[in-house]
Chains A and B, each alone.
Chain A
C-alpha cells in the first residue's frame, strides 16, 4: 500500500513547450532540448538565467545516442551552468518523475523557478536496435528472456481476455480511437486514421498485440517551467496548478513474473499512484471530477487496464467504456485526445512531460480542434517497467 503523500505547498506550471514528435533525423538530442526549453521559457516569460534548478528526464541513453546520462546533457545545450541539474530515470515514468522532483524542490524552498525537461532520441537506431536490443542483451540473462516490451503487457491482455471477455476488437478500437485523435495533433508522430481491420491485420508483435496496438519509438522533447503558486503573477502568467502527484514503485522489473500472487489483471502501481494523487486533490469520484485524461497507452491493453485502476469503471467493465465511446473526444471522459502514445509516439523520457503539456494546453483552452470543451481538471498517467512504476498527476486551471 502507498503511504499518504502530503502536498506541502501548491505548485504552478507557468510555461510549457514541446517539439514535434517523430523521426526527427534532422535534429540532434541537443537540438530537441533547446527547442522544447526555449518554447517553455518563452511561454513562461522567463529567461535561462532565471532557472534555479532543473531535472532532465532521459530513460535510455544506452539504446539512444548515449546522451542523457546526467544533468550535464541539459546544461550543455542550454548554456545553463552553476545550478543543480539532476538526471531522472524511472523507466516510462521518468518525465512525470522529473516534474515531481521539481515540484518537491519548489515546495521545499530549494529554488523559486524550476525546469523539468524530458527528451529521448531513439530513431537514430532501428527499433530492433533499441527497445528490442534492450530486452535481448541488456537485461538479466535469464529472467524474462524472450519477452519484448510488448510481450510483458501481452500476458496481461491474454489473461484479461480469458477472465473478462475482452476481445481483440476491444483492444484494437483503443488504437482506432487514439489514431483518430492524433489526426488533430500537429505534433503527433502519426497523423492518420486507421480502421479496426487495419489494426487487427497489422503484423503481430506479441499475441494479441499487433504493430498498431503498439506505440512507436520516437524522437522528441517536452518541457515545463514551474514556480510556487504563491509566486504566480496573473498579469504575466497563465498558470496551471498541480492538484496532486502520486508516484509509486509497486513491484519490480522481474518480480511480477516470478510472484505467485500476480494476477495480471491490474497494475498495483496504478492504483497506488492514483490513491496518492486523488487524496492530495480531494478526488473521490474520478469519473465525475476529471474532464480529460492522458493515459500511457504504450500498448492498447494498458489503456484498458488503466480505466479500471484509476477508478473510471468497475473491475471487468473497462471494455464497456470503449464499446460505448465514453473515452472518445466528445464522450463523457475523453482519454488521449492528443492521440496518446499510439499516435504521438513514445520518446520515453519526454512522454510524461508531453502529457502535462497536453493537459495544460486544454486547461488553457488552447488545444484547437481537439480541445475538450470546458475542461477544468485533467489527469496524466504513466506506467513504467512491466507495470511496476506508475505516476498520476492531477492538473487544474483554478487554484
Chain B
C-alpha cells in the first residue's frame, strides 16, 4: 500500500499503479484459502464496483480457482455492503445452507484531483464464515433498516443533508433504535465499535446507558492508517478488534440503517494482519498523479496504444496463465509453462501436469528502462520456481528503488497477481513478483 504524506490531516492509502479492486481482493483472499479449504459460496462487497452488469464475486471465484458453479453474489454500492454480506453469510451458515463462505470486501476509490482530503483509502479484506471453529464466533447479527440516508449519490452528484437535520432525523433515531434493542447485553462487551461518520453523536446515549466510553469504545485505527475504506471499513475494524481485544465485541455499522454484530473472540491470528501493514510514502504530487493515472503514463516518449489482448485467450489458456499449470517431462523432469508436444531437452512425449508454486529464486534478471512505464525501470526477473519450473516476470511494488527491494541473482521472490498494462480498458492480469 502507498501512503500519501502530502495531506497530513487525512493521510490515506492508495494502491500501486498495477493494483485495483481485484488484485487487492485476490491478494487478501489468496492468503486465507488454499486447496484444502472447501469454499462453497463467495460474497463480494464493495461500494466501488469495477463492472456493471458483471458479477465481481464470480470473477473472483474464477481468479481464486474455486469450484465451478459456486454460489457467488455481489453486494455492492452501499457503505454497509461489507457487514450486509457478513450478516447474510452468518445466517446462511447457521441455516446449514453453506459450510464455508468466503467474504471479500474491497474499496478502491479516488477522490477528485484537488479534493484528496476526503481521505478515501484503498483496501481489501477477506474472511471465511464457517461452521468450523475459527478466530471469532458471531453471537448475534441483526440489521435495522431505515429509509433515511444522510449522504448519497443521485444522478452522479453527491447529496449531503444538513448536518443538524441528519443528526436528529437520521443518525439519532436510527442508532437509538438499534442501541435500545441490543442495550440489555451491551454491558458485557469489552469493546464497542461505532462505524459511522457521526460516531461521536452516540457517546451521550452510551453514557446514559451506563457505558464507559473511554474504555469500551474502540478507536478507529484503520482510518488513521489507511483512510476511510467504505464498504470494507467496518469489517477491517472487526479484524482490528479480533487482533487487539479479548472477550466480546459489539459492532455498529451505521449508514442509512444499522447492522449490529456481536462477536466472541476465540483466539488470535498467528501474525496480526493490520498491525503488520507496510506503507511506502509517496514522495511527490507528480508521483501521486501518475499513480492516479492522470496525464502521461510514461516517462519515455512513447505513444501508447492498446496492447493486443484477447478474452478468448484468457479463457482458453486459463490453466497456464492464471493457475500456473505447467507440464513436467516424465523422463527428464524439465518443466515448461509453454505447451509443447515434445520435450525440448530429451524429446520425451509424456508429461505430468504440474502446478507451479508461488515462490522461487532469482536465476537472472535485467532492468528495462525503455519499456513504457509510469515508474521505470521495469525489472524483468527470471525465476527458478521452488519445486521446479521457470517463470520470467516483472518485479512490482518497486515505486522507489531501495536496498530492500533491489533484486539480484539468488534472491528469493514471491508471485503476486497484478494488472499488466496500466491504462488498459479491460481487466488484464498476470503474475509479477516481489522480493521477500
Interface positions of A from 252 to 300, Cβ below 8 Å from B:
252, 254-255, 257-262, 264
Q: Kindly list chain A residues whose C-beta atoms are within 8 Å of the C-beta of B326.
A: 258
Q: Are A264 and B364 in contact (CB under 8 A)?
A: yes
Q: Known contacts A148-B371, A257-B392, A258-B390; decide if A141 and B338 are in contact (CB<8 Å).
A: no
Measured between alpha carbons, how far is A251 from B345 in the docked complex, in Å?
10
CB atoms of A128 and B344 under 8 A apart: no
Q: A46 CB to closest chain B CB, in angstroms?
A: 43
Taking CB atoms, residues of chain A closer than 8 Å to B385 are 260
Tell me whether A138 is interfacial, beta carbon within 8 Å. yes
The residue on A at minimum CB distance from B332 is A261
- Contact: B338 with A205, CB < 8 Å? no
- Rounded to whole Å, the gap between the CB of B322 and the closest CB of chain A is 10
Q: Which of A128, A141, A204, A264 contacts B382 (CB 8 A)?
A: A264
Closest residue on chain B to residue A263 by CB atoms:
B363
What is the chain A residue whose CB lies nearest that of B410? A162
Enumerate chain A residues within 8 angstroms of B288, measured Cβ to Cβ. none
A385 → chain B closest CB, angstroms: 13
Identify A148's interface contact among B306, B368, B382, B394, CB under 8 A. Answer: B368
Question: B150 to chain A: which residues have CB within 8 Å?
Answer: none
Q: A261–B307 contact, CB under 8 A?
A: no
Shortest A175–chain B CB gap in Å is: 18
Q: A142 to B310, alpha carbons, bound, how many Å?
A: 11
Q: Which chain B residue shows the least CB distance to A153?
A: B366
Is A61's beta carbon under 8 Å from chain B?
no
- Verify B336–A260 contact, CB threshold 8 A: yes
Instruction: Give B171 Cβ to nearest chain A Cβ, in Å.
Output: 49
**Cβ–Cβ contact A141 & B310, under 8 A:** yes
Name the segment of A114-122, A129-137, A312-320 touching the other chain: A129-137
Closest to A162 in B: B409
**A143 at interface, CB cutoff 8 A:** yes
A207 / chain B contacts, CB cutoff of 8 Å: 366-367, 377
Which residues 379-404 of B have a CB within 8 angstroms of A? 380, 382, 384-385, 388-392, 394
Q: Which residue of chain A has the shortest Cβ distance to B322 in the bound complex?
A: A142
Q: Enumerate chain A residues within 8 angstroms of B301, measured Cβ to Cβ.
A: 126, 128
A145 within 8 A of B: yes
The CA of A205 and the CA of B382, in the complex, are separated in Å by: 18
- Asked if A155 lies at the interface with its beta carbon under 8 angstroms from chain B, I say yes
In the bound complex, residues from chain A placing their C-beta under 8 Å from that of B380 are: 146-147, 151, 155
CB of B143, distance to nearest CB on chain A (Å): 43
Give residues 169-228 of A contacting B (CB, 8 Å). Answer: 203-207
B368 near A258 (CB under 8 angstroms)?
Answer: no
> Which residue, B372, B380, B385, B394, has most C-beta atoms of chain A within 10 A?
B380
* 0 or 1 for each of A238-251: is its CB under 8 Å from B? (1 = yes): 00000000000001
Is B313 at the interface (CB under 8 A from chain A)? yes
**Is B305 within 8 A of A147, CB to CB?**
no
A260 touches B388 (CB 8 A): yes
Residue B158 CB within 8 A of the other chain: no
Q: Is B344 within 8 A of A136, CB to CB? A: no
In the assembled complex, the CB of A174 is this many whole angstroms from the nearest CB of chain B, namely: 18
Of A135, A137, A251, A257, the residue contacting B390 (CB under 8 A) is A257
Chain B residues whose CB sits within 8 angstroms of the CB of A258 once the complex forms:
326, 336-338, 390-392
A155 touches B430 (CB 8 A): no
Query: SS class of chain A's interface: helix, strand, loop or mixed?
Result: mixed
Question: Which chain A residue lies CB-closest to B310?
Answer: A141
A154 contacts B by Cβ under 8 Å:
yes
Taking the complex as formed, is A158 at the interface, i.e. its CB lies under 8 A from any CB of chain B?
yes
Min CB distance, A269 to chain B, in Å? 12
Shortest CB-to-CB span from A273 to chain B, Å, is 16
Q: Does B308 contact A (CB under 8 A)?
A: yes
Given the interface pairs A136-B372, A143-B338, A257-B382, the reply to whether A159 lies near B364 with Cβ below 8 Å is yes
A146 and B365 within 8 A (CB): no
> Closest Cβ of chain A: how far from B419's Cβ, in Å?
11
Q: Bound state CA distance, A144 and B305, in angstroms?
A: 18
Which B residues are in CB contact (< 8 Å) with A255?
336, 338, 340, 344
B103 within 8 A of A: no
Say yes or no: A145 contacts B394, CB within 8 Å.
Answer: yes
Docked complex Cα distance between A150 and B391 (Å) = 19
A260 close to B334 (CB less than 8 A):
yes
Min CB distance A153 to B, Å, is 9
Chain A: CB-nearest residue to B430: A142
Q: What A residues does B332 contact at CB under 8 A? A: 261
Would you call B394 and A259 a contact (CB within 8 A)?
A: no
Chain A nearest CB: distance from B427 CB in Å? 12
Interface: A28 (CB within 8 A): no
User: Most chain-B Cβ atoms within 10 A of its Cβ — which of A129, A146, A155?
Assistant: A146
Return chain A residues, CB-CB under 8 Å to B85.
none
Q: What chain B residues lie within 8 Å of A129 (beta carbons)?
A: 302-303
- Dominant SS among interface residues on chain B: loop
Note all chain B residues with C-beta closer than 8 A to A144. 392
Interchain CB contact under 8 A, A158 and B336: no
On chain B, the residues within 8 Å of A262 by CB distance are 390
Q: How far is the CA of A46 from the CA of B49 in the complex (A)?
A: 71
User: Once the chains bind, are B371 and A132 in contact (CB under 8 Å)?
Assistant: yes
B300 interface residue (CB < 8 Å to A):
yes
Please, which residues of chain B bring their CB within 8 A of the CB of A252? 338, 340
A143 to B302, CA, bound (A): 21
Contact of B334 among A136, A206, A261 (CB under 8 A): A261
Residues of A within 8 A of B337 (CB): 258
Residue in A129, A203, A206 with the greatest tally of chain B CB atoms within 10 Å = A206
**Does any Cβ of A come within 8 Å of B369's Cβ?**
yes
Contact B344 A141 (CB under 8 A): no
Residues 85-114 of A, flagged 1 when their CB comes within 8 A of B and 0 if not, give 000000000000000000000000000000
The answer on a CB contact under 8 Å between B390 and A259 is yes
Residue in B307, B365, B378 whose CB lies within 8 Å of A137: B307
Inter-chain contacts of B416 with A (CB < 8 A): none
Which residue of chain B is the closest to A210 with respect to CB atoms? B369
Given contacts A135-B371, A137-B306, A258-B392, A128 and B420 within 8 Å (CB-CB): no
CB-contact partner of A151 in B340, B366, B390, under 8 A: B366
CB distance from B362 to the nearest CB of A (A): 10
In-complex Cβ contact of B378 among A126, A146, A260 (8 A): A146
CB of B50 within 8 Å of the partner chain: no
A261 contacts which chain B residues (CB < 8 A)? 332, 334, 344-345
Q: A151 to B308, alpha carbons, bound, how many Å?
A: 20
In-complex Cβ contact of B366 among A136, A141, A155 (8 A): A155
Give bound CA distance, A158 to B371, whole Å: 18
B127 lies within 8 A of chain A by Cβ: no
B318 CB, min distance to chain A CBs, angstroms: 12
In the complex, chain A residues whose CB is within 8 Å of the CB of B369? 203-206
13 sample A-B contacts, Cβ–Cβ < 8 Å, listed by A number: A128-B302, A128-B303, A137-B308, A138-B308, A148-B370, A158-B366, A255-B344, A257-B390, A258-B390, A259-B334, A259-B390, A260-B385, A261-B344
| The 6 nearest A-B residue pairs measured at CB | A257-B392, A154-B366, A258-B337, A159-B364, A142-B430, A260-B335
14 A-B pairs besides A144-B392, A155-B365, A257-B390 with CB distance below 8 A are A140-B308, A141-B308, A142-B430, A145-B420, A151-B368, A154-B366, A158-B364, A158-B366, A162-B409, A204-B369, A206-B366, A258-B391, A258-B392, A259-B344
